[in-house]
């Protein structure tokens, strides 16, 4: 059993050690962020694409990096899955892509704005997100 003074010492030392560990891990994480996000690939086009993403409230329906609405598809790796041509076609006329299904709003985007959104989605897809989103399991083994 600890005496009152020993308990205080234990508490203060534990708090100091845990606080230093927390600060150290935070600094380590911030040092790794540029490499994980590929900050060197940030271009003005990517920045404009993010502004368009926010201005048009795409996150109201779509999910990006696990955040956003669940009404429409997850778009973190859409560039890898579908490619530039599909994304631009979807932005041009979403109702023609999947007739009779849920419909995305048709935005009147210029070619430059479409290029910017594609650049933004490509940059997002190249981030190292530690395996997120997981690749879908398409096998029938679990049945």
DSSP reduced 3-state for 112: helix
Whether residue 139 is contained in a domain is answered as: no
Number of separate domains in the chain: 2
- Same domain, yes or no: 59 and 82: yes
16 and 69 both lie in a single domain: no
Residues 75 and 103 in one domain: yes
Domain hosting 18: range is: 1-37
Per-residue pLDDT of the chain (143 residues; tens, 9 = 90+): 889 999 999 999 999 999 999 999 999 999 998 888 888 888 999 999 999 999 999 999 999 988 999 888 899 999 998 999 999 999 998 888 777 777 888 889 999 999 999 999 999 999 888 778 777 676 666 55
Q: Are residues 51 and 113 in the same domain?
A: yes
Q: Are 55 and 125 within one domain?
A: yes
Asked whether residue 64 falls in the same domain as residue 121, the answer is yes
pTM for the model stands at 0.75
Helix (H) or strand (E) holding 67: strand 67-68
Backbone torsion region of residue 66, taken as left when φ is above 0, otherwise alpha when ψ lies between -120 and 50, otherwise beta: left
**Token pair listed for 38:** 């590929």
């Amino acid at each position: 059993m600890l005496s009152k003074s020993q308990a205080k010492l234990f508490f203060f030392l534990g708090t100091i050690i845990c606080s230093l560990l927390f600060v150290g891990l935070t600094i380590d994480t911030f040092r790794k962020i540029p490499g994980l996000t590929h900050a060197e690939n940030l271009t003005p086009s990517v920045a404009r694409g993010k502004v368009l993403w926010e201005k048009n409230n795409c996150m109201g329906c779509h999910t990006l990096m696990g955040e956003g609405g669940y009404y429409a598809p997850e778009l973190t790796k859409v560039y890898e899955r579908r490619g530039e041509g599909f994304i631009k076609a979807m932005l041009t006329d979403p109702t023609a892509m999947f007739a009779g299904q849920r419909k995305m709003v048709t935005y009147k985007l210029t070619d430059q704005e479409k290029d910017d959104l594609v650049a933004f989605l490509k940059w997002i897809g190249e981030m190292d997100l530690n395996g997120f989103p997981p690749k879908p399991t398409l096998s029938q083994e679990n049945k």
